[in-house]
């Protein structure tokens, strides 16, 4: 794939609504079904690995396929193309907000958009939390983390690493329909978390 084609593919991806899940589905459709440049198995292997890279899964996938089709330069092209639409719109909207400061519309913005945005946070949190609301090590970890933040003021990154390490030794394997599976879903999975919100 030429670099320009790579740019066009990921730029189109960057305009997708529905966060990482929708973007990944679109990319799979393009690369596996339409262009037949990657097998489904290869794509799923990359996707599975992207879910455990400590970055957003979509950017990890962009690096993987950018490298495959264009080397290191391909990774830069894929990433820039993918983030450009959202980046531009985000900054422009932020500039718009700052322009409103000092005008009568600004306090109105805080009174209305902020509580609506808070609702998004609440729904996102609830959607993530549902999976852990049963007696388990995971529920205990969640409770300890909340107490750690509210009562002891412990740093969130420290809590996250500690929680991951404790989970590595204590979380039990989940059995699904007689098939042994690990709890592979993570809240760090931007796709799943945001999609359900």
Partner 1 sequence: MLGSLMVASLSSFGNGTVMAAVLQRSFVQDARVLTNDQLLFAFALARVTPGQSNLYIASIGYMMFGWAGSILSMLAIILPSYLMLPMLGGYQRLRTLSAVPRFTRGLASTAVGILMATTWNLSKDSLDPPVTWVVLTVALGLMIFTRLPTIVSLALATALGVAIVLAVPGAAGSVPL
CA distance 104 to 82: 36
Which residue lies nearer to partner 1 by CB, 70 or 138?
Answer: 138
**Interacting residue with partner 1 among 115, 176, 178, 179 (CB under 8 A):** 115
Closest separation between CB of residue 3 and partner 1, Å?
Answer: 17
Closest separation between CB of residue 18 and partner 1, Å?
Answer: 9
Surface-to-core class of residue 61, CB atoms within 10 Å of its CB (0-12 exposed, 13-18 middle, 19+ buried): buried
Which residue lies nearer to partner 1 by CB, 1 or 154?
Answer: 154
Closest separation between CB of residue 98 and partner 1, Å?
Answer: 8
Binding characters for partner 1, 37-66, by CB under 8 A (x = yes): --------xx-xxxxxxxxxxxxxxxxx--
- What letters, b where the CB count within 10 A reaches 16 and e where it falls short, cover 144-182? ebeebeeeeeeeeeebeeebeeeeeeeeeeeeeeeeeee
**Interacting residue with partner 1 among 41, 111, 135, 175 (CB under 8 A):** 111
Q: Is 28 in the site for partner 1 (CB under 8 A)?
A: no
Stretch that binds partner 1, among 1-9, 25-33, 34-42, 83-91 (CB under 8 A): 83-91
Closest separation between CB of residue 32 and partner 1, Å?
Answer: 18
In sequence order, what DSSP letters do the residues of 52-106 get, joined into one string? TSSS-HHHHHHHHHHHHHHHHHHHHHHHHHHHHHHHHHHHHHHHHHHHHTTSTHH
User: Helix, strand, or coil here: 181?
Assistant: strand
Contacts of residues 119-122 at CB distance under 8 Å and 24 or more positions apart, as own/partner, are: 120/197
**Considering only residues 123-152, where is the footprint of partner 1 by CB under 8 A?**
123-125, 128-129, 131-132, 137-139, 141-150
**Interacting residue with partner 1 among 6, 43, 47, 190 (CB under 8 A):** 190
Cα pseudo-dihedral 29, 33, 37, 42, rounded to 10 = 70
Give the pair of three-digit tokens for residue 190: 């931007």
Which residue lies nearer to partner 1 by CB, 2 or 174?
Answer: 174
Q: Is 73 in the site for partner 1 (CB under 8 A)?
A: no
């Amino acid at each position: 794939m030429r670099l320009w084609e790579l740019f066009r593919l990921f730029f189109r991806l960057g305009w997708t609504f529905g966060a990482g899940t929708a973007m990944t589905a679109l990319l799979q459709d393009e690369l596996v079904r339409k262009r037949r440049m990657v097998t489904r198995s290869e794509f799923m292997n990359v996707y599975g690995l992207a879910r455990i890279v400590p970055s957003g899964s979509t950017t990890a996938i962009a690096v993987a396929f950018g490298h495959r089709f264009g080397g290191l330069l391909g990774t830069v092209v894929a990433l820039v193309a993918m983030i450009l639409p959202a980046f531009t719109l985000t900054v422009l909207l932020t500039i718009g907000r700052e322009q409103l400061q000092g005008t009568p519309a600004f306090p109105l913005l805080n009174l209305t958009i902020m509580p609506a945005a808070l609702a998004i946070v609440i729904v996102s949190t609830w959607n993530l939390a549902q999976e852990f609301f049963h007696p388990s090590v995971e529920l205990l970890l969640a409770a300890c983390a909340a107490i750690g933040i509210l009562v002891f003021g412990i740093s969130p990154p420290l809590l996250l690493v500690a929680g991951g390490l404790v989970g590595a030794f204590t979380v039990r394997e989940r059995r699904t329909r007689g098939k042994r599976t690990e709890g592979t879903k993570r809240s760090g999975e931007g796709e799943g978390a945001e999609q359900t919100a």
